[in-house]
Structure 1
Amino acid sequence: MTRGPGRPPGPSDTRETILAAARERFADVGFDKASIRSIAQQAGVDPALVHHYFGTKHELFIEVVALPVDPAVVLAPLRDAPLDALGEAIVRTLVGIWDSPAGVGALAAFRAVVAGGDESLLRTFLLEVALKGVRDRVDQEVGDGDMRIALVASQMVGVLLTRKMLKLEPVASMSVDELAARVGPTVQRYLTG
């Protein structure tokens, strides 16, 4: 008996295979250099299946890092903030996410990295998704945007560690606005100083 076209009967692990391939590609080459076609090739599927299961590359990345929110939506304040107020906007936005129910996933990813997990996906998310638009705005001399964003990331990772894991007071209980007012100027100096 010959089988007709389409998916074979029975359970399919295609979605999980694509996720595993995407996780590996994003970790190996980063968000920008990983293409839907290369992910599909690594998974052994047609690129149309990647689009079928996940939509865009951006949506696939969100699924890979298990983010409960779309970064494009929650990071909109960073795109809209004036350059001279960007430091406070970054602190307010990121701490606001960490303090929300959506922050549980970010904290879990951070804990996994601290415990010796694969840091490449978190690095890719920070540098190529969350802060990429900021990097482009602060790249005053060729290549210094990368340095500026690395300094911002170091500051924000420190705030995350202090506030959420070590729970050091008074940082752990400061309001988002107070934390933004106190840490924002340092972040601003990294961005434009």
Structure 2
Amino acid sequence: MSRTDETAGRGRRPGGPDTRGEILRAARESFAGNGFAGTSLRGVARAAGVDAALVHHYFGGKDELFVEAMALPIDPRQVAATIVGGPRDELGRRIVTVFLGVWESADGQQRMKALLRSMVSSDQVAQLMRDGMTRMIIGPVSETLGVPDARLRVGLVASQLVGIALVRYLLELDPVATTPTAELIDRIAPALQQYLTG
């Protein structure tokens, strides 16, 4: 038996033209079925029929794979770094500015609408996003607050942002839907800051 036959017999194959796509397909299925914590790079590689080294080659790690598989318009880790990388008394403004910035871009709005609709209609997608966002955004932001109820504070901020997204971009309810972004930021930032540090 040739080396190629042995490799095929083990269910692994070298990278091909659509290897990346196969890995993403397997990752989406795994994230949806097993959640963030229950998904491993080895398991995804097995399901895609490739060597685990190829998953590392294309995506680097599970966080990167999650971002790609969910087709997020932003990298949550960069969002967290932007949010925590500045004065504490401007946290609320940075959060709402980044959040609305994603929604206000044409590509970002399209993807975020699809994601938000999926979260509302699918318990699996909602759980997956909770797991991923907790690990990559809520956890790091909570740690910077240094208070016992930090997770609750950040959760309340998240509730405000999801509400704004629903009213402005999905329901398109006026006047919130037509208020200029800069004015919305000015009005929302103090409320978020109160949640975080008040």
Shorter-chain TM-score tier: 0.7 to 0.9
| AA aligned opposite 1:3 | S
SS at match of 2:71: coil
Gapped runs of 5+ residues in structure 1? none
SS at match of 2:2: coil
Structure 1 residues 148 and 39: alpha-carbon distance in aligned structure 2, compared to 1, 3 A threshold? farther
65, 70, 74: which one aligns with 1:60: 65
Contact 1:67 1:106 survives alignment (8 Å): yes
Q: Is 1:191 paired with 2:196? A: yes
Structure 1 residues 91 and 8: alpha-carbon distance in aligned structure 2, compared to 1, 3 A threshold? closer
**How far, CA to CA, are the matches of 2:191 and 2:13 in structure 1?**
57
Aligned to 2:2: 3
Contact 1:40 1:46 survives alignment (8 Å): yes
Alignment root-mean-square deviation, CA: 2.9
SS at match of 1:171: coil
| Superposition TM-score, scaled by structure 1 size | 0.79
30, 36, 40: which one aligns with 1:30: 36
Aligned to 1:81: 86
Q: Identify the range of structure 1 (108-117 vs 33-42) with the bigger mean alpha-carbon deviation.
A: 33-42
Aligned to 2:113: 107
The alignment of Structure 1 onto Structure 2 pairs a total of residues equal to 188
Gapped runs of 5+ residues in structure 2? none
Structure 1 residues 189 and 25: alpha-carbon distance in aligned structure 2, compared to 1, 3 A threshold? farther
Alignment of structure 1 residues 159-178 onto 2, 5 Å: 159-178=164-183
Q: Is 1:49 paired with 2:54? A: yes
Shift of 1:109: 0.5
| AA aligned opposite 2:65 | L
Shift of 1:46: 3.5
**How far, CA to CA, are the matches of 2:182 and 2:156 in structure 1?**
21
Shift of 1:60: 0.8
Identity over aligned pairs, percent: 43
Q: Identify the range of structure 1 (166-175 vs 115-124) with the bigger mean alpha-carbon deviation.
A: 115-124
Structure 1 residues 25 and 79: alpha-carbon distance in aligned structure 2, compared to 1, 3 A threshold? farther
SS at match of 2:173: coil
Contact 2:76 2:133 survives alignment (8 Å): no
